[in-house]
Amino acid sequence: MKAVRKTLFGVLRHIIFWPVALTLLVSATMFAMVSFHSLRAQQENNLTLVARTTAYATEAAIMFDDRQTANEILGEIVAREHLCEITIHSADDSIFAHAQSACDGPVDRAAEIISNLGFFDDTTRVDINRNGQHMGIVEARGDGSVFASFLRRGLAVFVSCLILAILAARVPARWMEQRFSAELAALAGMARAARLEGNFTRRLPEFEIAEFNGLGQDFNALFGEIQARNAELMLRQSQLEIVNNTLSRMAMRDPLTGLANRTCFSEQLDKAIEKARESSSKIGVLYIDNDHFKDINDNYGHAAGDALLVNIGHRLRGAVRESDLVARLGGDEFVILLAPVGGEDDLQHVANKVLAAMARKLRLIEQVDVELGVSIGMALFPAQADDSVALLRAADHAMYRAKRLGRGRACMYDPTVDAALEET
């Protein structure tokens, strides 16, 4: 079973509540003990004083052996001083006079407990002497009512003070709990948001408690550093993505013409064939080769040849749809991927547009115009090839047939004719 952990607020309540309550309890107990001791001494002194007063008041009655008068005096004293009983013993220890209250013992249970526990001496004896002659003894016994009354009132006051002490101790405990709770809740909320949501934008306000305020400012500084580092990492990641995208584009592009290169064309051709298989559609490839590229390189230099290739790429791009792919395979060889197409007529239509675009001469240098004659080979998937390698090879064979037939034209792949030419 998982252990139940104590909360900080519960510990704080105990730290504040119990010392305050214990202090008040000890203080109240000490006060009660001092008061009780003082009252006991006062009661014993009062009982002794009553006994001496009785001895003085009954001295004459004892001397004249007037028992009736002595009894009357004792009765008045018992009633006035709230005594349980008072007795005068003569010199021979016989009872000369006696009086007692109607209770005949402690007036209530509290007084009886006090008397039995011996909290104070409830009997006092005082000698009666006259001119050095011993005439008798006055014995007075209290009923404990004073102490019983004090005990009841003291207990009532003690319990009331204890309740007030508990309530008073809870007030600062609650106040401290609420004060700590708000600031700790802010700290915990900030840490939770960072852990669960990755949110490092929150900041803590200033706290009243110095320690919490210092901790909050440390949190703010830490989150500020993390946020700055995250921003720096995001910037670096963005820069790396840009570089990667640039490198990816460079890896897939011909650096001279800006068209797709052989790698890019191969990937796109494989995807187009896969999609055509799934949709039972057709795609076409046009294999294009320049008819006079070697002569231009030899007569005008490589810079002129590069300018020629760039211009050819630009014209090819303008002769096809936006969705079609134009690529440079290498040297003066270009290829066009048409996806989808309806059939051979669509390929022938695009080839005618390419031938028309190449019909315009290109001025390489001042007063020097060259012709951009091209030979085109066409192949259709899946009628003439069942994969990308076979499709590109078929278009290449058709292009060579176009060159043998006089260049500047387009030929559709014919397995019978092109196979025979390949053998020769």
Give helix 210-252 / helix 262-279 axis angle, nearest 10°.
Answer: 90
Q: Lowest-confidence range among 63-72, 103-112, 179-188, 376-385?
A: 103-112
Average pLDDT of the segment spanning 338-363: 92
Task: Reply yes or no on whether 324 is catalytic.
Answer: no
Grouping H, G, I as helix, E, B as strand and the rest as coil, residue 327 is strand
Q: Which residues contact 294 (CB under 8 A, 6 or more apart)?
A: none
Residue 362's pLDDT is what? 85
Residue 105's pLDDT is what? 46
Q: Dihedral sign, CA of 312, 313, 318, 319?
A: positive
- pLDDT > 90: what percent of the chain? 27
Q: Quote the tokens at residue 226.
A: 């993390």
104: confidence class by pLDDT, cuts 50, 70, 90: very low
Q: Lowest-confidence range among 212-216, 240-244, 322-326?
A: 212-216
User: Which strands make up the sheet holding 325-330, listed edge to edge?
Assistant: 325-330, 333-341, 282-290, 374-381, 410-412
Bigger pLDDT: 366 or 242? 242
Give helix 145-197 / helix 210-252 axis angle, nearest 10°.
Answer: 20
Of 289, 332, 396, 418, which residue is the catalytic one? Answer: 332
346: confidence class by pLDDT, cuts 50, 70, 90: very high
Average pLDDT of the segment spanning 26-31: 74
Query: Rounded mean pLDDT of the chain?
Result: 80
Average pLDDT of the segment spanning 265-275: 94
Q: Quote the tokens at residue 209.
A: 């408690």
Distance CA 8, CA 180 (A): 9
Classify burial at 82, counting beta carbons within 10 Å of its beta carbon; exposed 0-12, middle 13-18, buried 19 or more. Answer: middle
113: confidence class by pLDDT, cuts 50, 70, 90: low
- Is 309 within 8 Å of 251 (Cβ atoms)? no
Predicted confidence (pLDDT) at residue 39 exceeds the cutoff of 80: no
Tell me: the pLDDT tens digits for 139-161? 888 766 666 666 677 677 767 76
Alpha helices in 208-261 (DSSP H): 210-252
Question: In Å, how far from its chain's centre is CA 70?
Answer: 92
Question: The whole model's pTM is what?
Answer: 0.50
Residue 120's pLDDT is what? 52
Residue 107's pLDDT is what? 47
Residue 176's pLDDT is what? 67
Distance CA 57, CA 387 (A): 145
Residue 188's pLDDT is what? 75
Average pLDDT of the segment spanning 355-383: 87
Tell me: the pLDDT tens digits for 227-264? 888 888 888 888 888 877 777 766 788 989 999 999 99
Site of tokens 């008061």: 35
Proportion of the chain in helix, strand, coil states, percent, rounded to 5:
60, 20, 20
